[in-house]
Structures are given as structure tokens and as C-alpha cells.
Amino acid sequence: MAEETPADEAKPVQRPLIMRYAARSDVGRVRAKNDDSAYVGRHLAVVADGMGGHAGGDVASAATVLDMLHLDHGDYHGDAVTVLADEIQTANSLLSELVHINPKLAGMGTTVTSLLLAEGKLHIAHIGDSRAYRLRDGVFEQVSVDHTFVQRLIDEGRLRPEEAETHPHKNVLMRVLGDVDASPELDVDTMDVKPGERWLLCSDGLNYVAGHVVERTVRETKDLRECVETLVDLTLEAGSPDNVTVVMVEIVEEMPDDVSTAAVDVVPPAAAAVAQPGTESAGATVAPAPAADAGSDAPPVPKPAAEQPAEPEPGTSTDPHLGEHLSAEVLRQELSSRPHELVGAAATAAESGSIPTIAGRTVARRAATVLTHKAETPAADDADEILEPAKPRRWVTWSIAASVLLVLTVGLWLGYAWTQTRYYIGEFDSRVAIYNGVSQRLGPIQLSTLEAVTEIRMDSLPLFSQQRVRQTVPARDLYDAQRIVKNLEGTGTIAPADECLTASPSASATPPSPTPTAPAPPPDAANPAPVPTPTPSTSPTAVCEGVR
């Protein structure tokens, strides 16, 4: 035993890897609000750059980051990269639901660049133009690929990298999370990791600092806090027309006394007191007053129905029994349970309690996943119960669709039935024919059928009548169609209303009225040809009826 002890002591101890970190976000010199959000802890780092301007860029980034922070642990049993990608897709669906319940947020979106350190591997999920850089073995490189229009031009060889900075469409994104795509395409990868390597996550606001300056700062600044402060300060000195967010991560082995990190406690003492049951303000967590006060002290992240903070029952989007205050309490308890750093719009939401929520779904989901990370817990069961009412919506949708389809089908059938009450004269096999229906087609469906073929040849008709028949002559009914055929057979004309006017007065069924002065001259008088007289002329209808 004495010989084995030194051998056992000589074996290197395999310690788990964790992240040491620092983060900072700044609104910049031009923007009125910060649309960036970031979270970093011992196992998770996320940077999100919201877009949508006044509509809700801060809502998109805050909701995404706050929905992912429960991933900050290292026990995933080999499926960490799948969990990370699924969580981002879930955050995307939550953003879509936020837009659904508040159309003012339409068009909002966010980039996401995230790192998950689990079981000795580093898992990366990325979409948008926020970036991830790595410094390893003296090599500094950009690991993520920008999902922008100019990057596509560079990849296709149509643009040189040095021209990208001055391109007029350099900020046009091709992929983004949010109210754009129901299933966005993520860049996902798993990489080996070792102690000592550094990672820089940043929003595109850092692009206003030259790339070689960023690299030199990361290389030469050993202290992580000093590094992020320097990079943000350099951005502000460059004018900083955009928000800027910087997260620095260093991979290290976890030590027994590894309790203090570069984390900053973002939960203020007052908020922590609200989050702790049994304190004097614990009962206020389900009352509307605290949220209204928090929203007035700091500019909260916009949320649905935020304009009615004093009436949370009808105005907020949370379940009345859980409430958005419970959501804020759950979030604050989670944040206070481990070292971390939360900055940007997400930090504002956590501090003010203005957590973007979707009905009871987000609250219950966070209560289940954030606090327990176990699907079989009672909290998860509660989440399923709250999610259950969403199923009837599908039945309502299908019922509405079936009703619309039925109405369209009945309408089309009635329309077709009406066409079968109509007739027209046309040509068939160089002869005059009667058709039942109308001469139009509905796609592949012919809306008429051949009723009868006459003995009248087309070449026996005057050219004008041939042209009219080939263009089809509509009839009111079968009797009217037979009348038109009889006219074609007898006179070679269709005898429409305008042609009836040329008929002889003697053909009229109603004789003309005598004039009040003198009787009309006989036919063989000095005026053999009929001339206009003051007597009333025969109406076209009377002539046509006489012909019939």
C-alpha cells in the first residue's frame, strides 16, 4: 500500500472545465435605447443584437437571452449541441407568439451567437452578424460566419473583403431570429477545447474598431474585465453609432475554491428581497404595484399591454394565477443561484420586472426549466396543463378552413348550375349549332355542352353572320336559341334588336296610328319609298316579337 500511494498521487487530476468571463454593453453615442443583450456564466455565453428599432429590438434580444439562461450547466449526457439548437428554435417561436399578441412588434428580430461548455466540449450555435473570435495557441481567428449580404458576395468571389466595410448594403442580414422565419437555419458546431484559450463574443457595434486593434487588445490584455472595458471604450471613441456589447471568456479548470469569478450581481437588493419568500415585500410579488413602480423608474423592455401596468389582469399577457411578477421572481431566483453576468436590454428587463411573456406559457416553462431543469417535476406537469388549451386552436382553425372550403364549393356549384340554364349559338363541324351553358372555360372544365346541330352550313351565311356565330351568340333560353337559328335559316341574319329596326312597317303586329291631320298616301302615290312621318314608328320589340 505504501508503494501505491505515490503512484496514485502522481496521476494528474482531471478537473472539469468552466468559463471565467466579463461582459459589458453600451447604448453608444447615437441610439436612444440599447437593443443588445448578453448573458455569460460558467458554462454558457450568449450575445444577441436586437433589431426592429422602436418596434421591439430590445424585446427580441431580451426575450431570447432570458429564455436561454437556464442552459448554464454542464450535465447534458452528450446531447448538449442539440439542446442548444432546440432552445434557440424555441426562442424563435416565442418571438413569433409575441408578435402575434402584439402586432406593434411586427418585424422585430435578433441575432444570436452562443457558446455552451459541456462535458469537455465547446458547442457553438450562431445566426446573424454578431461574431465569435477565438485566441488559441497564439492564433486569433473569427470562428463564426456573418449571415449578411456582403458576406455572401465575398463567398461567391464577387466582392473583396476590404470592400465590405464600405459597401452600401453591409448591414443587410440574410438570416435572423424572430418575426421572419418559422424555422431559421442555424450554424451549429462542436469543437475541442482546452484550458487557456480565449473567446470574444460581440455584437456588430464592435466593427467600428479596426480588426487588428481588437486582436491586439485581446492578446495583450490579460485581465478579462479590463479587456472588455477597453474594447467598449475604443468603440465609443470611434463614434459608436450603434449599440456595442462585448463578452470575454477564458476556459479554465475548475478549482475547489472557485467561487469568485468576474461576475457582477445584477439583482439589486430590493429585487432580491422581493424574490425571497417570507420577507416583508414577498406578498407584493403578486400585486400590480411593484411592477408599475419598476416600470416608471427605468425604461423597461417593451412588452404586450405595457401601457396598462396598473391593471395586470386584463392588460398583461401572463396567466392571472402566476402573473408576470412570478416570472420576474423565478428569473431573479435563477440569476441569484449562480455566478453570472447579465447586461443590456436583458439586464433592464430583469431589474425592472418587465419580462417579455406569452400568456402562461413562458411563466410555466421558466418555472419548470429554469428552476428544476427536469421534465418530470410537478412544475413541468403544470406547464403541460397550461399548454394543453392550445390544442383546441387547431380544431378551430380546421373548422374555419372546412367552413370556408364548403362555402367555396357550394358557391362554385351554384355558379355552374346557373351556367347550365343559359344557351348560345356557335359553330360545330362547319354548321350552326346550339349549345347549353356559356362559352367560357373554368381551367380544364368546359362550361357548355352541345345541345343540337342544325343543317345550316356556315359557308351559306353572309360573312357578317359567320363572324357573329363564330364569336357565339348568347340566348336567354332554348326557345330564344331556336328563334335565332330560324332567323339564320330564313334571312341569314341573327335579327338582334338593332336589325329589327330595318324591317318593313307592314311586318309589324300593330298597325301605325293615323295622323291627326290627313290620311297617309297610298303605296303607289308620288312617294313610293317610305319616308319618315310624324306617326309613331314601330318599336324594335314589337317587330322582333312579330318575327317570332
Rg of the chain in Å (alpha carbons): 41
Distance between CA atoms of residues 381 and 264, nearest Å: 34
Q: Looking at the structure, do residues 367 and 319 belong to the same domain, yes or no?
A: yes
Query: 148: which DSSP letter?
Result: B
Q: Looking at the structure, do residues 301 and 328 belong to the same domain, yes or no?
A: yes
How distant, in Å, are the alpha carbons of 162, 261, 368, 534 from that of 46?
Answer: 28, 17, 21, 98
Distance between CA atoms of residues 310 and 292, nearest Å: 6
Q: Is residue 470 part of a domain?
A: no
Give the number of other CB atoms < 10 A from CB of residue 515: 11
Query: Could you say which of 391, 418, 443 is where a domain stops?
Result: 391
Asked if 124 and 132 touch (Cβ cutoff 8 Å), the reply is yes
pLDDT in tens, the chain (548 residues): 444 445 445 556 678 899 999 999 999 999 889 999 999 999 999 999 998 765 789 999 999 999 999 899 988 887 899 999 999 999 998 888 888 888 888 888 999 999 999 988 999 999 999 999 999 999 999 999 999 888 888 888 888 887 777 787 777 888 888 877 667 899 999 999 999 999 999 999 999 999 999 999 999 999 999 999 999 999 999 998 999 999 999 999 988 766 544 443 444 433 333 333 333 322 222 223 333 333 333 333 343 333 333 333 333 333 333 344 556 777 888 888 889 999 999 999 888 877 776 544 454 554 444 444 333 333 434 333 333 444 456 778 888 888 899 998 888 888 888 888 889 999 998 899 999 888 877 777 788 888 888 988 888 888 888 888 888 888 888 888 888 888 888 888 876 444 443 444 434 344 444 444 444 445 444 444 454 444 444 434 334 433 33
Distance between CA atoms of residues 497 and 544, nearest Å: 7
Q: Looking at the structure, do residues 194 and 298 belong to the same domain, yes or no?
A: no
What is the phi-psi region of residue 170: left when phi exceeds 0, alpha when psi lies from -120 to 50, beta otherwise? alpha
Q: Which amino acid is located at 396 in the chain?
A: V
Q: Is residue 319 part of a domain?
A: yes
Beta partners for residue 427, in sequence order: 432
C-alpha cell at 452: 343540337
Q: Is residue 336 part of a domain?
A: yes
| Domain CATH for 187 | 3.60.40.10
pLDDT of residue 316: 35
Domain count within the chain: 2
Q: Looking at the structure, do residues 222 and 282 belong to the same domain, yes or no?
A: no
CA-closest candidate to residue 204, choices 158, 155, 151, 153: 151
Q: Is residue 487 part of a domain?
A: no
Q: Looking at the structure, do residues 242 and 301 belong to the same domain, yes or no?
A: no
pLDDT of residue 182: 67
Q: Looking at the structure, do residues 96 and 15 belong to the same domain, yes or no?
A: yes
The model's pTM is 0.56
Secondary structure element (H or E) that encloses residue 455, with its range: strand 445-457
Q: Looking at the structure, do residues 244 and 273 belong to the same domain, yes or no?
A: no
Q: Looking at the structure, do residues 217 and 351 belong to the same domain, yes or no?
A: no
pLDDT of residue 286: 27
Q: Is residue 18 part of a domain?
A: yes
What is the phi-psi region of residue 56: left when phi exceeds 0, alpha when psi lies from -120 to 50, beta otherwise? left
pLDDT of residue 458: 87
CA angle, 283 then 284 then 288, to 5°: 140
Q: Is residue 101 part of a domain?
A: yes
C-alpha cell at 413: 356549384
C-alpha cell at 475: 340566348
Q: Looking at the structure, do residues 291 and 223 belong to the same domain, yes or no?
A: no
For residue 305, count CB atoms less than 10 angstroms from its CB and return exposed for 0-12, middle for 13-18, buried for 19 or more. middle
Query: Could you say which of 391, 418, 438 is where a domain stops?
Result: 391
Residue 93 belongs to domain spanning: 11-145+179-259
In three-state secondary structure terms, 250 is strand
Those residues whose C-beta lies under 8 Å from the C-beta of residue 515, and which sit 6 or more positions away, are 533, 534, 535
C-alpha cell at 261: 469569478
pLDDT of residue 258: 64
Asked if 339 and 381 touch (Cβ cutoff 8 Å), the reply is no
Query: 514: which DSSP letter?
Result: P
Q: Looking at the structure, do residues 93 and 36 belong to the same domain, yes or no?
A: yes
Q: Is residue 301 part of a domain?
A: yes
Question: What is the 3-state composition of the chain as percent helix, strand, coil, each rounded to the nearest 5?
Answer: 40, 20, 35
Q: Looking at the structure, do residues 84 and 184 belong to the same domain, yes or no?
A: yes
Q: Looking at the structure, do residues 269 and 308 belong to the same domain, yes or no?
A: yes
Query: Could you say which of 368, 391, 414 is where a domain stops?
Result: 391
Asked if 131 and 38 touch (Cβ cutoff 8 Å), the reply is no
Q: Look up cell 408599475; give the residue.
A: 292
Q: Is residue 276 part of a domain?
A: yes
